[in-house]
């Protein structure tokens, strides 16, 4: 969503932790309709802290929708491409919602709280659009509720994250598997009526997300920082979140995936369960699979000095333009430029090891296709 100079002050939002970010000296920037911290001590410092120790992120700008009632499962199942029937209570899944033509409306995480209660966590920039889509496509007549303003979300990521979070929540979390979550008893976490600890992540490192009542977010933030003081925990902003997710090879909505991209070309075919009953976009995705996607999202590593940026042209060996960079950065860990971008879905252009060029300031810079993640960690 784009805001003009005239209406930005009227429409911009702040998370419950905004003042904490200001007090910590964060550089605040507009993002997805919110004033958010871009960095505190510096992107590289925060990035390496997450890789080597731990970082804490305020991601309270994300949207949380609740789908409840006897028809909750039917509603979720027809909206998303993944198969919600595989979920048990306490399990989560990554998925996408598509238009009828297969274009991606958003990527999201579905949490199954009970057979008749699901929580959908969506991107902040798509919150209004996504909820409208749910309302328009709620043929099963499930109960839909947008509780985004009532819920805060903190993410603690890095190898030292488990111990820090365990100290604060007061219980061991070693048995909480990837893409699982646990509800804490109401009132047990600083009086929060809603307290959910999940293990998903967007950095490629071990870590947890804690959903809590918005009015208790400051208390939780302070407790986590205190518990992590001797464990190398640092506040981390959107800048480090972006460089970390690119190293991990994760897509960002609005860059690598949009309504003009489909999950098959975006490398997300594993999220599309064509064998399940009808869902929005299924017919179109079947046709795309049968003929094969025309393009493919690939990862690449720069072979010479240069930082790829979103929108830069991708070139073949003869320096003809064949694609575009959708995400790119200088990897703090590899000390090289890395990125993601779309190229023709042909072996000569999309196979790992193939050399191509990235046009940086009008000059070709050599790169090589590499399968993400660029940095592997034990999640």
- Rounded to the nearest angstrom, the gap between the alpha carbon of residue 146 and the centroid of all alpha carbons in its chain is 19
Asked if residue 77 belongs to a domain, the reply is no
Rounded to an integer, the average pLDDT of 355-366 is 96
pLDDT at 1 over 50: no
**Enclosing domain of residue 33:** 8-61+149-248
Say if residue 154 is in the same domain as residue 219: yes
Say if residue 154 is in the same domain as residue 223: yes
Average pLDDT in the chain: 96
Asked if residue 96 belongs to a domain, the reply is no
SS3 track for the chain: CCCCCCCHHHHCEECCCHHHHHHCCCEEEEECCEEEEEECCCHHHHHHHHHHCEEEEECCCCEEEEEECCCHHHHHHHHECCCHHHCCCCEEEEEEEECCCCCEEEEEEEEEEECCEEEEEECHHHHHHHHHHHHHCCCCCCEEEECHHHEEEEEEECCCHHHHHHHHHCCCCCCCCCCEEEECCCCCCCCCCCEEEECCCCCCCCEEEEEEEHHHHHHHHHHHHHHCHHHCEEECCHHHHHHHHHHHCCCCECCCECCCCCCCCCCCHHHCCCCCCCCCCHHHHHHHHHHCCCEEEEEEEECCCCCCCCCCEEECCCCCEEEEEEEEEEECCCCEEEEEEEEECCHHHHCCCCEEEEEECCEEEEEEECCCCCCCCCC
pLDDT at 8 over 50: no
Q: Give the whole-angstrom CA distance, residue 223 versus residue 50.
A: 18
Asked if residue 167 belongs to a domain, the reply is yes
Say if residue 48 is in the same domain as residue 154: yes
> pLDDT digit string (tens) for 66-100?
999 999 999 999 999 999 999 999 999 999 999 99
Quote the pTM value: 0.95
> pLDDT digit string (tens) for 36-61?
999 999 999 999 999 999 999 999 99
| Domain-terminating residue out of 186, 215, 248 | 248
| Number of domains the chain is built from | 2
Say if residue 302 is in the same domain as residue 364: yes
> pLDDT digit string (tens) for 111-129?
999 999 999 999 999 999 9
Say if residue 307 is in the same domain as residue 192: no
- CATH number of domain containing 325: 2.40.30.110
pLDDT given for residue 4 in this prediction: 36
Asked if residue 122 belongs to a domain, the reply is no
Two structure tokens written together for 192: 């929060």
φ/ψ bin of 201: left (φ > 0), alpha (ψ from -120 to 50), beta (otherwise): left
- CATH number of domain containing 214: 3.30.1360.120
pLDDT given for residue 11 in this prediction: 73
């Amino acid at each position: 969503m784009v805001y003009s100079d005239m209406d930005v002050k009227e429409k911009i939002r702040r998370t419950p932790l905004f003042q904490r970010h200001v007090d910590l000296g964060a550089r605040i920037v507009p993002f997805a309709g919110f004033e958010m911290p871009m960095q505190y001590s510096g992107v590289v410092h925060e990035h390496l802290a997450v890789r080597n120790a731990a970082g804490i992120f305020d991601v309270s700008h994300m949207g949380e929708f609740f789908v409840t009632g006897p028809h909750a499962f039917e509603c979720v199942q027809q909206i998303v491409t993944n198969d919600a029937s595989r979920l048990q209570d306490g399990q989560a899944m990554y998925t996408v919602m598509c238009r009828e033509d297969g274009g991606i409306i958003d990527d999201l995480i579905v949490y199954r709280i009970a057979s008749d209660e699901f929580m959908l966590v969506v991107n902040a920039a798509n919150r209004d659009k996504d909820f409208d889509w749910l309302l328009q496509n709620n043929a099963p007549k499930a109960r839909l509720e947008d509780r985004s303003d009532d819920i805060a979300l903190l993410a603690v990521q890095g190898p030292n994250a488990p111990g820090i979070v365990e100290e604060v929540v007061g219980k061991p979390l070693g048995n909480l598997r990837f893409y699982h979550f646990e509800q804490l008893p109401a009132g047990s976490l600083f009086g929060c009526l809603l307290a959910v600890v999940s293990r998903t992540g967007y950095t490629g490192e071990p870590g947890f997300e804690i959903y809590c009542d918005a009015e208790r977010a400051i208390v939780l933030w302070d407790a986590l920082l205190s518990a992590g003081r001797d464990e190398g925990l640092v506040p981390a902003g959107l800048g480090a979140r972006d460089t970390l997710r690119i190293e991990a090879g994760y897509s960002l909505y609005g860059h690598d995936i949009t309504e003009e991209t489909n999950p098959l070309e975006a490398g997300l075919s594993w999220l599309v369960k064509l064998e399940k009953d009808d869902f929005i976009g299924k017919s179109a995705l079947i046709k795309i699979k049968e003929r094969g996607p025309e393009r493919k999202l690939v990862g690449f590593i720069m072979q010479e000095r240069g930082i790829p940026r979103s929108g830069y042209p991708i070139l073949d060996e003869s320096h003809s333009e064949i694609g575009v960079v959708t995400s790119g950065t200088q990897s703090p860990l590899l000390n090289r430029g890395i990125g993601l971008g779309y190229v023709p879905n042909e072996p000569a252009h999309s196979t790992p090891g193939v050399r191509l060029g990235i046009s940086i300031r009008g000059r070709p810079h050599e790169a090589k296709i590499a399968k993400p993640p660029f940095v592997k960690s034990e999640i």
